[in-house]
Amino acid sequence: MTSPITNCYDPKAARPRLAVERAYLYRPETEWTYSHHASITFFKGRFYAILSQDDVKAGRTFDDGIALGIFYLDAMSPDTDKRVYIPDAQGMVKFQPPPYHIPFRSLWPRGAKNLLAAGRCLSADQMALSSARVMTTASMMGQAAGIAAAMCADHQHPLAALDISRLRAELEKRHARL
């Protein structure tokens, strides 16, 4: 029986598409970090870094920062379909953080040679993702992931050999504000 899930990969095509390495689906009995969409959930410890609420609140910068986040923290409870805000430890519901970096490592799953998870699929805790999930930040992550993939393809090497300083320089050359 053929799987109903496909990414249209055809190795015989004139221009083959990338094959999906793996996908993780939400299971209630499994511990999970957070995803805006329950069907796109990545689990704790599977990425090289997890962007945290503390990183966002502190406006933390990273040597491998590839995008800049500025949106406020506004996570809502995953236990209901109603708009119930989750307060932080100090009781604040919406917190405007200073600008903070999205580390490249939070896009890179452990064990994946040539896979990046940009946008809402990055590795972040629930409160950090409430800020990083917006389209402006997600598009910056997508641009960085695309340029990183192109650099690896051009030099025919895996992500582990990517020079992050060259990636950051290329992003800045294309007017990214890091």
SS (HEC) of 64-80: CEEEEECCCECCECCCC
Domains in the chain: how many in total?
A: 1
Which helix (H) or strand (E) element contains residue 149? helix 135-155
Answer positive or negative: Cα dihedral of 60, 61, 66, 72: positive
Does 147 fall in a domain? yes
pLDDT at 24: 43
Does 25 fall in a domain? no
Does 100 fall in a domain? yes
Rounded Cα distance, 155 and 101, in Å: 26
HSE, CB side, 13 Å, CA atoms: give it for residue 65: 19
Rounded Cα distance, 137 and 58, in Å: 17
Does 36 fall in a domain? no
Does 116 fall in a domain? yes
Does 112 fall in a domain? yes
Per residue in 127-174, pLDDT (tens digit) is: 888 889 999 999 999 999 999 999 999 999 999 999 999 999 999 999
For residue 130, which amino acid is it? Answer: S
The two tokens of residue 87 are 């307060």
Does 163 fall in a domain? yes
CA angle 55–58–63, rounded 5-degree value: 60
pLDDT at 3: 41
For residue 147, what are the domain limits? 53-173
pLDDT at 19: 46
Name the one residue in this structure whose structure tokens are 């992500």.
Answer: 159
pLDDT at 70: 92
Does 35 fall in a domain? no
Q: Which residues of the chain have pLDDT under 50?
A: 1-10, 15-43
